[in-house]
Amino acid sequence: MLRPKKILYIEDDLESREMMGEILRVHGYEYFAASRGLEGIKVATHELPDLILMDLNLPDMSGFEVTTLLKSVRALKSTPIIALTGESTLKAKDMTITAGCEGFISKPINISEFLQKITEYLEGHKESITPDDERRFLSEYNIRLGERLQSKIEELEKANQNLITINEKLNESKQKLSEYNNRLFTLNTLANTLRTLESPEALLRTLPDHLHEGFHVERVILFRYSQKKQQIQGLYATGISEKKPEKLKFNLDHFFYSQLKNETKLVWIKQKDEILNEALLKLAQKLNSTSFLLGSMAGFSSHKDSTGIFRSISTTEQEDFLKTGGETDNRNIVIFIDRGLSQNPFDTYEVRVLKSFLQTASTIFENMTLYHNLLRMLRIKEQEALTDALTGSYNYRYFQSQIEREILRSKRHNNMFSVAMIDVDNFKEYNDTHGHLNGDIALKRLADVIHENIRKSDILARYGGDEFIIILPELNKPQARALAEKLCQVISRTSLPAKKLARKINLTISLGIATYPVDGETEELLVKKADDALYKAKNSGRNTVCISV
């Protein structure tokens, strides 16, 4: 028995979602719903629907952004996405298809026609538009996307400012409750100073000095805790003789650390004989300290899971993001504070103020981290929309936008430029002999070598399969030919992965050159002339360059 087809509907109107659910369930479909774009992405990555219906006007992001993010998830790349909206103009339809949707259904719906269209889209039907319209609307779409990303950044900046305002109000409330202590003025001043720092790491780096100067403590050490090693290692410090804090390492069992983070938050040791934990006693002896404070920055966090917003992105993308430095975390930062060699004990009010300051500093740190990570995620998504996932070179969409730009620039300045179409010789044979994994590695390597041997102003894009294309600004035919021949020589000497004992296959490249404006004044003509020249190069024995004539 065949399983029912899964359909996801992303729509902010509750009544519309409920009505759609009744229609689809009655006709045998398994129905899922989401009210926002991020929620829809999360449901889609978890349920993997066979079809996604989506309103273009969502409260948290545009339907075009949601489509772009959905299509960037490998498991959803071939899932049809159908725009369902009250906008019925031809332009809205074309913009929707340009954004990556497979179809467009206008509201209000006729149930019979609607169900017929659903069946057609599930069977693989896909709407299309002319290449000229696609380029035109792609340009409009990219402008909209850029404006939307800029708007998101402005919203994040405003949100961060609101968080700063909240922190300031919290600090003002604490001051009113503890006006008897002039140290609260120091707390507020330092908190404001921390807010002006450029990054979360800068906050951690300067925190020991701020505590030392503002609260008259002599030694402050920030440690990073490793659960795997059950050990803390010095990160930043002030007031210690050791010039390299990272040389300070102490064992700290995970049970004690968990208690410190989740329950105690700040341990106040008044006398060394109070210490019952063996690892903590060794730390006190090594640092020659009898009275000190030990706390977890995570324990003071105002919201325990500041990274929850990233859960709407697939697990693989989260891992890639973290591997590239996308998150600085306060959940494993341990802070040590004492009076140094003077050994003067802390007063109760001093501990209260220090605890209040650490709570404020941790909240600022976490808000700053969230803000920087969101900005980084937006930049990564923007970059992914422009690049080829396998080779790291630009994708064909980006090439199209840039060649149009280069044509306009050359017209304005009366310049010429060239286009080089590249095909990898014998790649199918190489792939069949050495396997697709080695084939992917080889393509990535060839793209890297090409990029290393062209100018910074040149634009390398993957045209498709084992074909690449380069825009060569301000190069005439002889100059473009010289660069192309250099690439042939370099690629022919490039070593590539191969299976042991398998037949050796040398990969080379053939190139076809076309020049603006002599070979054409439009993208289509230039690409066609370059492709024709490439065809001649392939038929001339490969590993060679042919010029369009």
| 237 and 120 housed in the same domain | no
Which range of residues forms the domain containing residue 25? 6-129
Long-range contacts of 455-460 (CB under 8 A, 24+ apart): 459/394, 459/398, 459/399, 459/402, 460/393, 460/394
| 400 and 376 housed in the same domain | no
391 in any annotated domain? no
390 in any annotated domain? no
| 115 and 158 housed in the same domain | no
389 in any annotated domain? no
DSSP secondary structure of 302-366: SSS-TTGGGGGS-HHHHHHHHHTT----STTEEEEEE-GGG-PPPPHHHHHHHHHHHHHHHHHHH
pTM greater than the 0.95 cutoff: no
Taking residues 508-514, what's their average pLDDT? 95
Residue that terminates a domain, selected from 96, 129, 162: 129
97 in any annotated domain? yes
Looking up tokens 């490039």 gives: 494
| 530 and 408 housed in the same domain | yes
387 in any annotated domain? no
| 118 and 12 housed in the same domain | yes
64 in any annotated domain? yes
Q: Where is average pLDDT lowest: 177-191, 228-242, 249-263, 485-499?
A: 177-191
Structure tokens belonging to residue 168: 């300031």
Residue that terminates a domain, selected from 381, 416, 438: 381
Confidence of residue 305 (pLDDT cuts 50, 70, 90): very low
Maximum CA extent, the chain: 91
Structure tokens belonging to residue 313: 């992105």
Question: Using one digit for the tens of pLDDT, what is the confidence trace for 83-138?
Answer: 887 765 556 677 777 767 888 888 788 888 889 989 999 988 888 777 776 677 66
| 112 and 181 housed in the same domain | no
287 in any annotated domain? yes
- CATH for 508: 3.30.70.270
Share the mean pLDDT of the chain: 82
| 172 and 321 housed in the same domain | yes
| 469 and 431 housed in the same domain | yes
Confidence of residue 420 (pLDDT cuts 50, 70, 90): very high
Structural domains in the chain (count) = 3
| 334 and 405 housed in the same domain | no
- CATH for 169: 3.30.450.40
- CATH for 24: 3.40.50.2300
pLDDT computed for residue 295 by the predictor: 86
| 415 and 489 housed in the same domain | yes
| 80 and 171 housed in the same domain | no
Residue that terminates a domain, selected from 352, 381, 410: 381
388 in any annotated domain? no
Question: Using one digit for the tens of pLDDT, what is the confidence trace for 339-368?
Answer: 766 667 787 877 888 888 888 888 888 887
Give all strands of the β-sheet with 6-10 in edge-to-edge order: 30-34, 6-10, 51-54, 81-85, 103-106
| 210 and 319 housed in the same domain | yes
Taking residues 458-468, what's their average pLDDT? 93
